[in-house]
Amino acid sequence: MGVLNVTPDSFSDGGQFYTPEQARARAEQLIEEGADIIDVGGESTRPGSEPVTSEEELRRIVPVVEQLAKNMEIVISVDTTKREVARAALQAGAEIINDISALRFDFYIADEVAKAGAGLVLMHSRGTPATMHRLPPVPEILEVVTRSLRSSIAMAAQRGVAARQIVLDPGIGFGKSLEQNVELIAGLAEFAHRFHEFPILVGTSRKSFIGRLLDGAPVEDRIHGTMASITAAVLNGADIVRVHDVRAARETVRVADAIRRAAH
């Protein structure tokens, strides 16, 4: 899953692909590098970010999704927590809604997904993007993530979303400490076992915990740390990885997946 942020303020690539023309060029690059899915985001969810209105998010996302759906053979995901944006994105040609709140912010997203027969990524997070970096760590993070996602799955089912439409994401970096992020990756095999009926998505790409592990490495110097985290994630059960550096990630995943298959 290649990241395409059409935002001015995302932590890694904010402002780089803000216009439809820039976004299309970036999408073409991601596809050429081997992306299977393009995840379009119109609202930054970096720690400390401020929310945008549905109207602004729609203005950023819909023209890009329409253009990609019309001109490219690629699965399109849209990263949003708003039902209006989900509805418009699905109508424009998106096939997956990636909800970083796992329906906490707006459970009516599940209605839109059910109606469209689309995919739904349920990601665990704590607090909101504006507050999550200030939250104190919780004990037993795997238990917390498990309970929360089971609740989100039940809510999705109640709104008519079938199990086969759901992908789960433990939410690396969203209200977790450095140690808890590492613990979740190390414990991903247990997480995958608990939710064996669902594909598992992991997004570690360029995140701050990698920078901290690498003595304060800036965003642009976190590619090797990202690939190490992806390797660990795949070996422990990840089915999808969400990344900025698609070519490097695709090669990393091919090797890690071969090793995982041999081990089993």
Q: What is the pLDDT of residues 212-236, one digit of tens each?
A: 999 999 999 999 999 999 999 999 9
Q: State the catalytic residue, choosing from 83, 104, 207, 222.
A: 207
Question: Which position has the higher pLDDT, 115 or 7?
Answer: 115
Residue 149 has pLDDT above 90, yes or no: yes
The mean pLDDT of 90-118, rounded to a whole number, is 98
Residue 15 has pLDDT above 70, yes or no: no
Smallest CA-to-CA distance from 89 within 100, 72, 77 is with 77
As a whole-number percent, the residues of the chain with pLDDT over 70 amount to: 95
pLDDT at residue 18, rounded to an integer: 57
pLDDT at residue 1, rounded to an integer: 98
- Per the CB < 8 A criterion, the answer to whether 65 and 77 are in contact is no
DSSP 44-77: --STTPPP--HHHHHHHHHHHHHHHHHH--SEEE
pLDDT at residue 144, rounded to an integer: 97
56-96: pLDDT as tens digits: 999 999 999 999 999 999 999 999 999 999 999 999 999 99
82 is catalytic: no
Q: If you count DSSP H runs as helices and E runs as strands, how many of each does the chain have, helices first?
A: 10, 8
Residue listed under structure tokens 């690939």: 227
- What global pTM score does this model have? 0.93
242 is catalytic: yes
Element of type H or E holding 166: strand 166-169
pLDDT at residue 153, rounded to an integer: 98
Angstrom CA distances, 49 to 23, 129, 132, 170, stand at: 21, 6, 10, 20
As a whole-number percent, the residues of the chain with pLDDT over 90 amount to: 83
Angstrom CA distances, 139 to 144, 176, 237, stand at: 8, 10, 23
What structural domains does the chain harbor? 2-263 (3.20.20.20)
- pLDDT tier at 14 (50, 70, 90 boundaries)? very low
Burial class (CB in 10 A: 0-12, 13-18, 19+), 238: buried
Q: State the catalytic residue, choosing from 126, 242, 254, 261.
A: 242
User: In the structure encoding, which two tokens stand for residue 203, read together?
Assistant: 């997004």
pLDDT at residue 179, rounded to an integer: 96
The mean pLDDT of 165-189, rounded to a whole number, is 97
Sign of CA dihedral 202, 260, 192, 141: negative
Angle at alpha carbon of residue 5, lines to 133 and 174, rounded to 5°:
20
pLDDT at residue 17, rounded to an integer: 57
